Amino acid sequence: MKNEKIVFFDIDGTIYDFEKKIPKSTKRAIFELQNRGIVTAIATGRAPFMFKDLREELNIHTYVSFNGQYVVHNNEVVYKNPLNKKALFHLTKQALACEHPIIFQNEETMKTESIEHPHVIEGIKSLRIKDFPSNDHVQAFHQENDIYQALLFYTEDQNMNYPEMYPDFKFVRWHPCSVDVLPSDGSKANGIKQLLKLLNLNVEQSYAFGDGLNDREMLSYVGQGIAMGNAEEETKKVASWVTKPVDQEGIVFGLEKAGLL
Protein backbone atom coordinates (compact mmCIF):
# COMPACT_ATOMS: atom_id res chain seq x y z
CA MET A 1 0.00 0.00 0.00
CA LYS A 2 3.09 2.23 0.11
CA ASN A 3 2.51 3.89 -3.29
CA GLU A 4 -1.26 3.50 -3.43
CA LYS A 5 -3.42 6.59 -3.65
CA ILE A 6 -7.09 7.19 -2.96
CA VAL A 7 -9.32 9.99 -4.25
CA PHE A 8 -12.62 10.92 -2.57
CA PHE A 9 -15.33 12.69 -4.53
CA ASP A 10 -18.32 14.54 -3.11
CA ILE A 11 -21.45 14.08 -5.24
CA ASP A 12 -23.58 17.22 -5.52
CA GLY A 13 -21.72 20.06 -7.20
CA THR A 14 -18.63 17.87 -7.60
CA ILE A 15 -19.42 14.66 -9.50
CA TYR A 16 -22.88 15.93 -10.44
CA ASP A 17 -23.16 19.24 -12.26
CA PHE A 18 -25.93 21.73 -11.58
CA GLU A 19 -28.41 19.59 -13.55
CA LYS A 20 -27.53 16.53 -11.41
CA LYS A 21 -25.75 14.93 -14.37
CA ILE A 22 -22.19 13.57 -14.60
CA PRO A 23 -20.06 15.49 -17.11
CA LYS A 24 -18.58 13.09 -19.67
CA SER A 25 -15.08 14.34 -18.86
CA THR A 26 -15.59 13.50 -15.17
CA LYS A 27 -16.70 9.97 -15.98
CA ARG A 28 -13.72 9.39 -18.27
CA ALA A 29 -11.33 10.78 -15.65
CA ILE A 30 -12.66 8.47 -12.91
CA PHE A 31 -12.32 5.42 -15.17
CA GLU A 32 -8.75 6.50 -16.03
CA LEU A 33 -7.89 6.71 -12.32
CA GLN A 34 -9.22 3.18 -11.87
CA ASN A 35 -7.15 1.98 -14.85
CA ARG A 36 -4.07 3.46 -13.16
CA GLY A 37 -4.74 1.53 -9.95
CA ILE A 38 -5.81 4.60 -7.96
CA VAL A 39 -8.65 3.87 -5.52
CA THR A 40 -11.76 5.95 -6.28
CA ALA A 41 -14.25 6.58 -3.49
CA ILE A 42 -17.31 8.71 -2.80
CA ALA A 43 -17.68 10.94 0.27
CA THR A 44 -21.20 12.31 0.55
CA GLY A 45 -23.90 13.48 2.89
CA ARG A 46 -26.34 11.26 1.03
CA ALA A 47 -27.62 7.93 2.31
CA PRO A 48 -26.38 4.81 0.46
CA PHE A 49 -29.77 4.14 -1.13
CA MET A 50 -29.68 7.62 -2.70
CA PHE A 51 -26.63 6.97 -4.89
CA LYS A 52 -26.75 3.25 -5.69
CA ASP A 53 -27.18 3.92 -9.43
CA LEU A 54 -24.26 6.36 -9.39
CA ARG A 55 -21.96 3.79 -7.76
CA GLU A 56 -22.86 1.24 -10.42
CA GLU A 57 -22.39 3.74 -13.25
CA LEU A 58 -18.92 4.75 -12.01
CA ASN A 59 -17.86 1.29 -10.76
CA ILE A 60 -17.19 2.73 -7.30
CA HIS A 61 -17.78 0.36 -4.38
CA THR A 62 -16.00 2.23 -1.58
CA TYR A 63 -17.73 5.17 0.03
CA VAL A 64 -18.17 7.40 3.05
CA SER A 65 -21.89 8.18 3.40
CA PHE A 66 -24.07 10.17 5.81
CA ASN A 67 -21.19 12.67 6.13
CA GLY A 68 -18.94 10.00 7.62
CA GLN A 69 -21.30 7.92 9.74
CA TYR A 70 -21.52 4.85 7.49
CA VAL A 71 -18.38 3.70 5.68
CA VAL A 72 -18.18 0.89 3.13
CA HIS A 73 -15.14 -0.66 1.44
CA ASN A 74 -15.66 -2.96 -1.55
CA ASN A 75 -19.36 -3.28 -0.62
CA GLU A 76 -18.59 -4.30 2.99
CA VAL A 77 -19.55 -2.06 5.93
CA VAL A 78 -16.40 -1.16 7.88
CA TYR A 79 -17.58 1.66 10.20
CA LYS A 80 -20.86 2.84 11.76
CA ASN A 81 -21.53 5.88 13.93
CA PRO A 82 -25.28 6.26 14.61
CA LEU A 83 -27.03 9.16 16.33
CA ASN A 84 -27.65 8.97 20.07
CA LYS A 85 -31.19 7.59 20.40
CA LYS A 86 -32.12 9.40 23.63
CA ALA A 87 -30.93 12.79 22.38
CA LEU A 88 -32.66 12.19 19.04
CA PHE A 89 -35.93 11.44 20.85
CA HIS A 90 -35.79 14.80 22.68
CA LEU A 91 -34.73 16.72 19.57
CA THR A 92 -37.63 15.19 17.64
CA LYS A 93 -40.10 16.15 20.34
CA GLN A 94 -38.96 19.78 20.32
CA ALA A 95 -38.71 20.01 16.53
CA LEU A 96 -42.25 18.79 16.00
CA ALA A 97 -43.54 21.13 18.73
CA CYS A 98 -41.94 23.99 16.76
CA GLU A 99 -43.46 22.61 13.53
CA HIS A 100 -40.01 21.86 12.13
CA PRO A 101 -40.17 18.63 10.11
CA ILE A 102 -37.50 16.00 10.62
CA ILE A 103 -36.50 13.11 8.35
CA PHE A 104 -34.82 10.02 9.80
CA GLN A 105 -32.38 8.08 7.62
CA ASN A 106 -30.74 4.71 7.87
CA GLU A 107 -28.79 2.90 5.15
CA GLU A 108 -31.92 1.55 3.47
CA THR A 109 -34.67 4.14 3.72
CA MET A 110 -35.95 7.41 5.22
CA LYS A 111 -39.12 8.33 7.06
CA THR A 112 -40.86 11.47 8.29
CA GLU A 113 -44.16 12.47 9.84
CA SER A 114 -44.29 15.54 7.60
CA ILE A 115 -44.32 14.25 4.01
CA GLU A 116 -46.55 17.11 2.81
CA HIS A 117 -44.60 19.99 4.40
CA PRO A 118 -43.38 22.39 1.66
CA HIS A 119 -39.83 22.52 3.08
CA VAL A 120 -39.59 18.73 2.97
CA ILE A 121 -40.88 18.63 -0.60
CA GLU A 122 -38.52 21.41 -1.69
CA GLY A 123 -35.48 19.89 0.02
CA ILE A 124 -35.97 16.36 -1.27
CA LYS A 125 -36.78 17.56 -4.79
CA SER A 126 -33.47 19.47 -4.83
CA LEU A 127 -31.64 16.13 -4.51
CA ARG A 128 -33.26 14.83 -7.73
CA ILE A 129 -33.66 11.33 -6.31
CA LYS A 130 -36.31 8.72 -7.02
CA ASP A 131 -37.02 8.03 -3.35
CA PHE A 132 -39.34 10.14 -1.21
CA PRO A 133 -39.66 9.59 2.55
CA SER A 134 -42.61 7.54 3.77
CA ASN A 135 -44.58 8.20 6.95
CA ASP A 136 -45.43 4.65 8.00
CA HIS A 137 -44.36 3.59 11.51
CA VAL A 138 -42.11 6.66 11.85
CA GLN A 139 -41.85 6.63 15.63
CA ALA A 140 -40.95 2.96 15.82
CA PHE A 141 -38.47 3.45 12.98
CA HIS A 142 -36.31 6.05 14.67
CA GLN A 143 -36.57 4.50 18.14
CA GLU A 144 -35.84 0.91 17.14
CA ASN A 145 -33.28 1.35 14.34
CA ASP A 146 -29.85 2.92 14.10
CA ILE A 147 -30.28 6.36 12.52
CA TYR A 148 -27.12 7.70 10.93
CA GLN A 149 -28.38 11.12 9.94
CA ALA A 150 -31.48 13.23 10.34
CA LEU A 151 -32.59 16.15 8.19
CA LEU A 152 -34.09 18.95 10.26
CA PHE A 153 -36.08 21.58 8.36
CA TYR A 154 -35.94 25.20 9.43
CA THR A 155 -34.55 28.35 7.82
CA GLU A 156 -31.49 30.27 9.00
CA ASP A 157 -33.50 33.37 9.84
CA GLN A 158 -35.49 31.41 12.42
CA ASN A 159 -32.42 31.63 14.72
CA MET A 160 -33.03 28.33 16.50
CA ASN A 161 -30.62 27.37 19.28
CA TYR A 162 -30.62 23.64 18.51
CA PRO A 163 -26.78 23.41 18.56
CA GLU A 164 -26.62 24.81 22.11
CA MET A 165 -29.45 22.60 23.34
CA TYR A 166 -28.18 19.34 21.83
CA PRO A 167 -24.38 19.02 22.27
CA ASP A 168 -24.57 15.35 21.21
CA PHE A 169 -25.23 16.58 17.68
CA LYS A 170 -23.63 18.69 15.00
CA PHE A 171 -25.94 20.74 12.75
CA VAL A 172 -24.64 21.46 9.23
CA ARG A 173 -26.73 23.44 6.75
CA TRP A 174 -27.06 21.83 3.32
CA HIS A 175 -30.14 23.70 2.04
CA PRO A 176 -31.78 27.08 2.78
CA CYS A 177 -34.56 25.11 4.47
CA SER A 178 -32.64 22.29 6.11
CA VAL A 179 -29.65 21.11 8.15
CA ASP A 180 -28.00 17.71 8.50
CA VAL A 181 -28.06 16.38 12.07
CA LEU A 182 -24.89 14.37 12.76
CA PRO A 183 -23.15 12.95 15.82
CA SER A 184 -21.02 15.68 17.42
CA ASP A 185 -17.85 13.84 16.38
CA GLY A 186 -19.19 13.07 12.91
CA SER A 187 -17.69 14.38 9.67
CA LYS A 188 -16.54 13.16 6.29
CA ALA A 189 -13.01 13.58 7.65
CA ASN A 190 -13.67 11.10 10.46
CA GLY A 191 -15.15 8.57 8.03
CA ILE A 192 -12.13 8.96 5.75
CA LYS A 193 -9.81 8.52 8.74
CA GLN A 194 -11.46 5.17 9.55
CA LEU A 195 -11.09 4.00 5.96
CA LEU A 196 -7.44 5.05 5.64
CA LYS A 197 -6.69 3.14 8.84
CA LEU A 198 -8.32 0.03 7.41
CA LEU A 199 -6.42 0.33 4.12
CA ASN A 200 -3.14 1.09 5.91
CA LEU A 201 -2.76 4.35 3.97
CA ASN A 202 -1.16 7.56 5.20
CA VAL A 203 -3.21 10.74 5.00
CA GLU A 204 -0.63 12.07 2.47
CA GLN A 205 -1.84 9.38 0.06
CA SER A 206 -5.38 10.77 0.06
CA TYR A 207 -7.03 13.41 -2.11
CA ALA A 208 -10.55 14.85 -2.02
CA PHE A 209 -12.81 17.05 -4.13
CA GLY A 210 -15.77 18.94 -2.65
CA ASP A 211 -17.81 22.12 -2.76
CA GLY A 212 -20.16 22.30 0.24
CA LEU A 213 -19.93 23.40 3.85
CA ASN A 214 -19.98 19.73 4.88
CA ASP A 215 -16.76 19.24 2.87
CA ARG A 216 -14.63 21.62 4.93
CA GLU A 217 -13.31 19.05 7.44
CA MET A 218 -12.61 16.59 4.63
CA LEU A 219 -10.64 19.07 2.51
CA SER A 220 -8.68 20.17 5.59
CA TYR A 221 -7.86 16.60 6.59
CA VAL A 222 -6.68 14.84 3.40
CA GLY A 223 -3.26 15.20 1.81
CA GLN A 224 -4.64 17.43 -0.93
CA GLY A 225 -8.10 18.92 -0.48
CA ILE A 226 -9.34 20.43 -3.73
CA ALA A 227 -12.33 22.78 -3.73
CA MET A 228 -14.46 23.07 -6.85
CA GLY A 229 -14.59 26.49 -8.53
CA ASN A 230 -18.30 26.56 -7.62
CA ALA A 231 -17.60 25.79 -3.94
CA GLU A 232 -18.81 27.84 -1.00
CA GLU A 233 -16.32 30.58 -0.09
CA GLU A 234 -15.82 29.08 3.40
CA THR A 235 -14.96 25.77 1.76
CA LYS A 236 -12.46 27.33 -0.63
CA LYS A 237 -10.65 28.94 2.31
CA VAL A 238 -9.72 25.60 3.88
CA ALA A 239 -8.80 23.80 0.63
CA SER A 240 -5.24 23.15 -0.54
CA TRP A 241 -6.27 24.95 -3.72
CA VAL A 242 -9.27 25.59 -5.98
CA THR A 243 -9.98 23.96 -9.34
CA LYS A 244 -12.41 25.06 -12.07
CA PRO A 245 -16.21 24.74 -11.63
CA VAL A 246 -17.89 21.36 -12.08
CA ASP A 247 -19.36 22.34 -15.46
CA GLN A 248 -15.97 23.52 -16.79
CA GLU A 249 -14.12 20.20 -16.45
CA GLY A 250 -13.15 21.04 -12.88
CA ILE A 251 -12.51 17.40 -11.94
CA VAL A 252 -10.18 16.79 -14.90
CA PHE A 253 -8.30 20.05 -14.32
CA GLY A 254 -7.96 19.26 -10.62
CA LEU A 255 -6.71 15.71 -11.19
CA GLU A 256 -4.17 16.91 -13.73
CA LYS A 257 -2.89 19.65 -11.43
CA ALA A 258 -2.60 17.10 -8.60
CA GLY A 259 -0.48 14.91 -10.88
CA LEU A 260 -2.99 12.05 -10.86
CA LEU A 261 -3.80 12.21 -14.59
What are the distances in angstroms from CA 203 to CA 62, 169, 180, 192, 216? 17, 26, 26, 9, 16
Mark residue 30 as left, alpha or beta (left: phi above 0; alpha: psi -120 to 50; beta: remaining): alpha
Mark residue 131 as left, alpha or beta (left: phi above 0; alpha: psi -120 to 50; beta: remaining): beta
User: What is the end-to-end Cα distance of the chain in Å, rounded?
Assistant: 19
- The residue among 51, 35, 127, 37 whose CA lies nearest residue 9 is 51
From 10, 17, 180, 211, the catalytic residue: 10
Q: Has 168 been annotated as catalytic?
A: no
Bridge partners (DSSP) listed for residue 6: 39, 206
The catalytic residues are 10
